[in-house]
Structure 1
Amino acid sequence: MSASPPSSARPAPAVRRRLFGHWWRSQSPSRQDRFVTVGPLVSVLLFLAAIISAFWYLRNEEIERETDSLRRDTEIAQQQIQLRLIDSQEQLLRLARELATRTVDSRGFEGQARSFAAERPELTQLLWLAPKRQLLGQWLAPGLEGLTHNGGPDPSLPMEGRRSEPERAFSTARDLQAPVYSRSFQNAAGVPVFQVHVPLIDRNGFVGSLVAEYSVQALERLLVPAEVTRRHAITVLDEAGNELAGNGGTPAGGAGKRATIVHDVPLTPAGTGLVLRGQGWRTSIGLISNTLFWMVVALSVLTVWMLLGAWRHMRRRTQIQNALIQETNFRRAMENSMLTGMRAMDLQGRITYVNPAFCAMTGFSEAELIDRRPPYPHWPPDRLDENARLLRQELQGRSPAGGVEVKVMRKDGSMFDARMYVSPLIDPKGQQTGWMTSMTNITEAKRIRDQLSASHERFTTVLEGLDAAVSVLSVEQSELLFANRSYRLWFGADARGHALLAGTSAQPGVVEDSVDTFGGLPVQELTQAGSDPREVFVESLQKWFDVRSRYLQWTDGRLAQMLIATDITARHQAEEQQRLQAEKAQVTSRLVTMGEMASSVAHELNQPLTAIANYCSGMVSRVQSDAIGKDDLIAALRKTARQAERAGQIIHRIRAFVKKSEPQRQAAQARAIIEDAVDLAGIELRRRHVQIHTYVAQRLPTLMVDPILIEQVVLNLLKNAAEAIDMAKLPPARRHIELRVVPRHTAEEGGVIEFSVTDKGPGMKEEVLGRMFEAFFSTKAEGLGIGLSLCRSIIESHRGRMRAENIYNGNAVVGCRFSFTLPVEPGARIEPAAPSASDSNTTTETTSP
């Protein structure tokens, strides 16, 4: 049997192609353009990324090869120096054994040292030291004889008590009894060196030390192979990183540049603290200096820039096409929706275009108007000559800028008024190809204009017939823009009358540019704001005017002020007469009150007068009988004087109360007003056997009132309460009056001072409470009915309120309360006082004698 290949593997590429083609066709043209533009750009960017990655890989591989070569060379130099030092150490050990066994003296030491140093030019000197550090033998390299270190001790010799590298190495070798290398230091010649101390040991122990001193520079120069120094720079560093020796192995082009590859190894054997450093430079040019790389980058950038330019150009073309389509659709929609008819003509007057609004206005279709020549079908038959003249004027370009009014006939024969505007049609080359005419139906506008003219005439007639003076003045030029008949009758056609009513000075025709009173103020805010009415007295006319003003924008856009001045002379005279009568009524009320209290006042005055008479009679009798001494006479005279003062105070208080004076508001304290009122009322209260309890809160603010008028109100309320109690024949337990003055603060009135008079009398009926404050209403047979009405007028003139109410205990009336409030001046502080606080309570009791 033969097996057929799988059917799914064969058509896979075709399926992928079909899927890709289906996906590509499903994209919009703008998206396909975007993909076509972005595809090459992405390819170039990927190519540039691949080139950069290849260069980067080659550069890293080169650095790794150079690092391996530097490591090998540095280790070769390390091994050469290490082998030489180990070989020298073995020869030194042999010589140290001979010195320890005394087979070699100082002369023989010099000979062996000379032969030993002949094969080792890196040695600077050999020293044979005793256990106490005495110098037993010494060999110096040529050129070092006779050198001292700045005239001091030789730095290469160990000295007990001195901290130096030779001393440290000598002590360590003595203690360990093994060869010890010192750290690097500078010898007498200033050359960096290090020493190896080989201890001399015999049967008795430590007998000295053999010291070999090596030059670091000579070691590096002589023992590092020449092929290594040609490839790399080999230097010797101390523990602090200072360079002690080095060759000139810098490659061509690397001078002055920092080594890119560094490898450090210790300089063995250990103990010297020296480090052998190899430095390498890249032999090939870097990625940044590669010309091929920059050529690829430049070509890639140029390609990307060209692709971006093409993409931006395509996008700009797409945007322009979309804007053109949108503008075309917008203009078409605007032409189809606008109410203005548009008609285009060529230079011969042939109609080439009409919009739907023109067809709707005339009733003719587009086919009936296109390619028509004069006379047009929408021209009225009786106006053909006039329309032909206007058309010739239009074709000659002499149409007025403000348009012309014409009569247009609809297809059904009806007429309407229209205004036509003409403008030239210019092609892209700047040549005129025809004329564009816009036509607006002004039938309704003309009708409204006629109505407005008639309305303006009627309005002007009304203003001319007003008894009030109406004037409009330009704020900037002080020019009188309008004045009705009443204004002209009183002030003429002069702007000074307007300024007189407005309370400003005006000089018609004079404009001060240097001062702009309304500069920066918005005209709309000024025109929307009104002003409070005020009263102005014109002395030349001997008239009072109620003036109301506001700012408005005149027909030409200028800011103007309008004034309406109404003659209120008669009303002002009536108010003045009413004020005088109210003052007379107040004085009359006080006189009536004193008249009603005449018997009480007489009784009150009778007591001090009787006492004065008694004192005088007694003194006369005793003086006649010579039965009084000087001291008794003085005491009697003083008592007589006190009674006379008491009578004088009563008369002075009554005289001040009933004195006729002009109402005058002044700063007054509530406590002083209450004290004066209670003193006067006490005469009547004692006669009627009524007690009064007074409470005045502490720290009350100052009131701006007429104290005499407020005292009159309080006295009237106290007298009425006492009369109500006395007439009801109440028992002594209920013959009390409570007078309270406390601060209050309500949402309706704000901060006020409340005065209240409360009695325990029989109260009042509801119908009486409703008419209590009416003029000439009284519940007394002999009453005039002006007391409470006058009291209420006084309180309301002070912007206060007055109330009356019964006090109930269940359903039974147990008293009556009269109260009134006086407003507190703005800024005054109200501190409510607790009635139960004894320190803020002032109580005055007046009882019958």
Structure 2
Amino acid sequence: MRPQPRSPWRQRLRSRRWRLWAALILLVVSLLAVLVFLAAEYEEARDQTALEQDAATVSNDIRSNLLRNVQTLQTLYSVTPTVDSWSTPAADLLAQHRELVRLEWRDTGRRLLAHRDSLYIPDLFSYLDRAQALPEVNLACDNAVRQSGPAYSSSYFWPLRNGKGIEMMEMCLPVTRAGTPAGFLVATYSLPGMLAELTNKDLLRGRGLAFNEADGTRLALHSSVTGSRRTLTARAVLDLPGHTLLLQLQSPRLVRGLFPNVLTAVVGALSLALLSVLLLLGRDIRRRQRAELDVAEALAFRKAMEDSLVTGLRARDMQGRITYVNPAFCEMVGLSAEQLVGSGLPAPWWPPELVDEYQQRQMVRLAGQILPREGYESVFQRPDGTRFPVLIIEAPLIDAQGQQTGFMSAILDLTEQRRVEELNRASLERLQATARLATVGEMASLLSHELNQPLAAIASYASGTLNLLEPPQGAEAAVAPVQAELAQAMRRIGEQADRAGRVIKSVADFVRRREQAREVVTPQSLIDAIQPLLGLQVKKQGIRLQIHIAPDCPAVLCDRTMVEQVLLNLARNGVQAMPPGEPTTHSGLRLLRLEVGPLRLHSGQGPGGQAQKTWVSFSVTDHGTGLSPDVADKLFTPFFTTRAEGMGLGLSLCRTVIEQHGGALTHEPAQPRGTVFRFTLPGAA
């Protein structure tokens, strides 16, 4: 039986299916071919880009090393200022840098002062004289002068005796000393040496490197690519001051097979297959991301709150090891979080002498005996030794299961609070001192008022007694010696009563802030006024009084009574500083010295035509035990005294009196021991 012929419809359907399969296969093959071609082009472009980047890197390395050589030459000149000392360091430099074949030191006229040749090319200038390269040297130095810095000449070929040659280039560096041109340092470079010594050897392994002209002429060759494989070429410009070189880098390109590209196509197909899985995972990923975002926002909010706190936070486990600290606590103790987390007891911020006490307190807490939650004060110490008070509030740390996992502490720095309390205390003390000063002022006014009448009575009685002691007019009998001495004593009583009245009046004027009357007084008269009272006191204490007044010392313009009181107060303090029975000088004598002399004497007129002021210095020197640093700092503080019977106002009032006259009251140690009090008064015009 003959087979039935196929229907045209089926044939057309089958033909269409094959055409579809053929089109699909053709499409897949075309896609693979395009993918392989694109992959090959991409790889070649990638290799070319990488080679160009390496060429730029080699060019930058050469430029950086040339700049480093310039700095080395500058250092060579600065440490070897003379021609004789320059030769040996130059030879060492040539031995360390093989790219340099010659170093020269030329003066400002470019005459050769000194030179050294490289040991690696000993016969470099044996075939041709160095003078043949002077045009290149002059060209580089001209460019260096114009640019005020190093400059390079164009490269030139230098023949050698063995029929070969070398491409070289000159570098000229102008040098100065104290801002004045001092000549030039000329360095001769070998282009092959630059390629060999100034480049990265690992980067050039298996590659070719050369210097070429712009037209392709090869100047110097370091290495070349061997074999018949296809090579990639990259060029980079080495732009130097005064000259430009073209760097050529070659690299062989490995011919890869088809398998990596097919593998790329397989990966692409698998990527399409995984698309469905990705679609299924997309919804789960979106849900997970939403949950993670909520958790991250919550954590970020909590961390922002903890970082913004000025209160230190610290979490510890049940063994006392730190598990968390915030930035405020790290800043408080001066340690980083990495140093604190994981550390145990004893804590690094505990003062050494309090370690046992703090250790016992922590052991009680870790044993379960929780301290009250209202907090307790403690003292912390930073690594630099600074100590500061803190308030610690601690509570148990409970996890989600209700179990205690440790302790959470909040630490407050009480330094600022203590500072405010100290300021308040100091302000209160100043108010109290001001109140005492007001009371002293009132007492001074009351005493001056009450003492004026007795002093006036004393002066009156002294005057009446003198009148009775005077002989009658016309009497020829001589006054008896006893009567004369009694008259002298009564005059002294009257003078001292009058002086006491002036002192009280000056104190009253000082308390009331009235303008005091000043007069021209000689230093000798000031010393004479206090010498009788001071002489009695030093004689009683067994102290020798020494007074020296410079012959050319001018008179001073001052309130006589107040300055006499200042001198007397300083002299009495000097006497009291030397306890009886203790020798204070090398000779074994207890000595009190008063010196007066001009501090600065100017003649003529000042720059503006005005007369320049003259100052007179008064000094009181004792050889007592001296002043300790603590006492010296508080010496002029009101109500501060080192004597049980003292009020602490004498030196403060003395300084105020001297400052009202425009002068200054200072003190300094005396030699071999003791103290010198010195004050200045303006000289009379």
TM-score (structure 2 length as normaliser): 0.33
Bigger Rg over Cα = 1
TM-score (structure 1 length as normaliser): 0.27
